[in-house]
Chain A
């Protein structure tokens, strides 16, 4: 079975500062990794995903994430945040062979202050 732990429930940060949202996962098999974002009053949308190959993945809106197999982590980063990045961010995993079930973390609320 897979599980996902998002280490911070809330992250307040000032505008134009860098941010890192942490995600650790547990799995006995290889997985695909995802970050989703949920803006206020909107549905979830995909930010980026790791399938294989390069461990640094770039997504939409200037976000990137790095897959670290030894630490079983997939932290999300952005070098300079905007007010509009205020949202809930979810890390998720799916086993990469014969897997359909996507397991989500509890989410991290990013609050960008002016």
Chain B
């Protein structure tokens, strides 16, 4: 079956602009995660959704970052007033439920802020 998909695969933007990154989870997966991976580092947790609600958003670095999942399926990560330091690969993962359920990762969106 279809895995986790993320769009766009690459995004180049200018400092100060607004961006949206989309994640389509595996059908039927109620749990959804967003991570950020910088070069040479492991994924860094941003936010976890159970259904439509954010059960843990403690990893969002500041109030420029926001994520939604209005119907409990597709999720959008929104970044306002982008900064060069936001450049990274943004990963989405979905699972059947909370840990220790296996997380299935998408290919990521590579964001470059000029």
Do A and B belong to a common assembly? yes
A-side interface residues toward B, CB under 8 Å?
4, 32, 34, 36, 42-46, 49, 51, 90, 92, 94, 96, 99-107
- Using CB atoms, name the residue of chain B closest to A101: B45
| B42 pairs with A45, CB closer than 8 A | no
Find A100's partner among B4, B99, B104 (CB 8 Å cutoff): B99
- Whether B41 and A107, one on each chain, are in contact in the complex, defined by CB atoms closer than 8 angstroms, is yes
B48 located at the interface, meaning its Cβ lies under 8 Å from any Cβ of chain A in the complex: yes
Chain B's interface: helix, strand, loop or mixed, by majority? Answer: loop
Interface residues of B (CB under 8 A from A): 3-4, 33, 35, 40-45, 48, 50, 55-56, 58-59, 91, 93, 98-100, 102-108
Among residues of B, the one whose C-beta sits closest to the C-beta of A41 is B107
Instruction: Kindly list chain B residues whose C-beta atoms are within 8 Å of the C-beta of A46.
Output: 102-103
Sorted nearest first, the 6 A-B pairs with minimum C-beta distance are A104-B42, A100-B48, A43-B105, A94-B99, A44-B105, A100-B56
Subset of 16 A-B contacts with CB under 8 Å: A32-B100, A36-B105, A43-B3, A46-B103, A49-B100, A49-B102, A100-B48, A100-B55, A100-B99, A101-B56, A101-B59, A102-B33, A102-B99, A102-B103, A106-B40, A106-B41
Contact status B48-A101, CB under 8 Å:
yes
Most buried by A among B91, B103, B107: B103
Cβ-closest chain B residue relative to A34: B100
Residue pair A90, B45 in contact (C-beta under 8 Å): no
Who on chain A is nearest to B48 by CB? A100
Given A45-B105, A49-B102, A102-B43, 19 more pairs with CB closer than 8 A: A32-B99, A34-B100, A36-B105, A42-B107, A43-B3, A44-B91, A51-B100, A92-B42, A94-B99, A99-B99, A100-B98, A101-B48, A101-B58, A102-B103, A104-B42, A104-B43, A104-B45, A106-B40, A106-B41
